[in-house]
């Protein structure tokens, strides 16, 4: 069975980096709470998702933006400037969609 093509409006790398940068103040405010909880707050992940950050490396055939690693790293850095743990979490979770693109479509 052929995968269903998902159409997505693709923002520019500059737009995505700016979206991540706009999150810095709220990420900085959450740093202490996230440290105390020993985990990233669900709302932090939800906000990353809402602004499309997890689609950066995701293949276009699965609705992603299929961008380069430099853009991914710039987003990760922008998030980490607000909260290092949030940047790290994005780095780990954001690679999952890239990895899925490597797997045969039948899976």
Q: What is the pLDDT of residues 20-69, one digit of tens each?
A: 999 999 999 999 999 999 999 999 999 999 999 999 999 988 889 999 99
**What is d(CA 38, CA 32) in angstroms, rounded to the nearest whole number?**
10
pTM, entire model: 0.85
pLDDT score at 101:
80
**What is d(CA 80, CA 16) in angstroms, rounded to the nearest whole number?**
15
Beta strand residue intervals within 20-76, DSSP E: none
């Amino acid at each position: 069975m052929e995968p269903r093509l998902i159409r997505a409006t693709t923002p520019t790398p500059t737009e995505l980096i700016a979206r991540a940068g706009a999150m810095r103040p709220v990420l900085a405010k959450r740093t202490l709470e996230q440290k105390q909880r020993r985990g990233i707050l669900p709302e932090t992940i939800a906000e990353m998702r809402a602004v499309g950050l997890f689609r950066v490396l995701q293949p276009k055939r699965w609705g992603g933006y299929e961008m380069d690693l430099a853009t991914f790293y710039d987003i990760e850095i922008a998030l980490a400037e607000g909260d290092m743990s949030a940047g790290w979490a994005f780095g780990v979770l954001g690679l999952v969609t890239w990895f899925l693109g490597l797997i045969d479509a039948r899976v």
